[in-house]
Structure 1
């Protein structure tokens, strides 16, 4: 929440920290495997933005050109205004700005000044369209829709495949957990889609999280991922593409 439109806010130091292995090692020191802490322990200073209303598409063509597109109208029907000329629903993107408040609750941090409204300014977004390269060759395209949980959803699919070695379908199908720092609650998947797919974080994992001091709550919504992996191992030229469209929203991959 220290990020903001770089035309209005100097984010040089923030971005440098995000890309710094040294900074990552310092963050690692705040993580204990046997217990969890309150938001202040992890550096939470500002209130979070509850953005929503997103969609994502991942694309790779026959020449290995890759596109990851996340877009939003920022609500089910955006600003609830339809352009009579184009038929396009106008977005509600102003909702992604932090709003100054005269009075803030003692239990809630203040809004982030870097994201305050200004003319011609772009609001902060949790969109995380991602293209993965190795040795300058395409390895994967991944992205997620799901509002404020987008970063967590994208990270979990990425780690499932590249850190845990799960196949692309299993990486997407694995049940997910979400934590926004504020409120200090772990949201976990335990729901069934309209087409009958059930996603549930195992009871053993939920129990372990509670033993560490986490407060758990069933997630009323979920992130939806579109994941394409290119396997170059042992193949000449262009490798095999495997595409997975998350069944959480009834999606399916398409190839041409």
Structure 2
């Protein structure tokens, strides 16, 4: 609301820095999969998403002769009544021949429902089971 925005504006002082305790809400920093996303929208309305994941820090720990560090995406598969990472086993990710594991990386592009003109939004989340709910909250 405008009144809430005005009250928040009164808290802004461009010439002074405040303790981080003043800023709410407090969020804990969680360690998790080593992943990142870059989403870029250019002036020509092209949108490019680059997703990079080793899954775990240092990936699988295997480096190819050319120096490429391989990811550990195989850990995203579920085994019956067991999983290799901290997530809940999911039937959609049961290991099968010729199957790729579903990923928790979630690059998201939102565009107008009709036509190409309007406001676009590009965002991403990589926080495992919480990725979808964090995108929805934005």
Same fold (TM over 0.5): yes
2:115 corresponds to: 136
Please report how far the alpha carbon of residue 69 of structure 1 lies from its aligned counterpart in structure 2 after TM superposition.
3.1
Partner of 1:55, secondary structure, is strand
CA contact (8 A) 2:104 2:126 kept: no
* Alignment RMSD (CA, Å): 2.2
Please report how far the alpha carbon of residue 132 of structure 1 lies from its aligned counterpart in structure 2 after TM superposition.
0.9
CA contact (8 A) 1:53 1:147 kept: no
Pairing partner for 1:75 from 56, 63, 66:
56
Q: Distance in 2 between matches of 1:112 and 1:147?
A: 13
Partner of 1:76, secondary structure, is coil
Partner of 1:144, secondary structure, is coil
Q: Residues 100-139 of structure 1: matches in 2 within 5 Å? A: 100-101=80-81, 111-134=89-112, 135-137=114-116, 139=120
Name the structure where strand makes up a greater proportion of residues: 1
Deviations 1:205-243 (A, max 9, x none): xxxxxxxxxxxxxxxxxxxxxxxxxxxxxxxxxxxxxxx
CA contact (8 A) 1:115 1:124 kept: yes
1:61 corresponds to: 42
Pairing partner for 1:96 from 76, 87, 92:
76
Q: How many residues align?
A: 99
| Stretches of structure 1 lacking an aligned partner (at least 5 in a row) | 1-50, 103-109, 159-256
CA contact (8 A) 1:67 1:131 kept: no
CA contact (8 A) 1:97 1:123 kept: yes
Q: TM-score, normalization: structure 1? A: 0.35
Q: Distance in 2 between matches of 1:150 and 1:99?
A: 22
Partner of 2:36, secondary structure, is strand
| Stretches of structure 2 lacking an aligned partner (at least 5 in a row) | 1-31, 83-87
Structure 1 runs of 4+ off > 6 angstroms?
A: none
Deviations 1:26-50 (A, max 9, x none): xxxxxxxxxxxxxxxxxxxxxxxxx
Please report how far the alpha carbon of residue 119 of structure 1 lies from its aligned counterpart in structure 2 after TM superposition.
2.2
Task: Go from structure 1 to structure 2 and tell me whether the alpha carbon gap of 1:126 and 1:114 turns closer, same or farther (over 3 Å shift).
Answer: same
Task: Go from structure 1 to structure 2 and tell me whether the alpha carbon gap of 1:126 and 1:145 turns closer, same or farther (over 3 Å shift).
Answer: closer
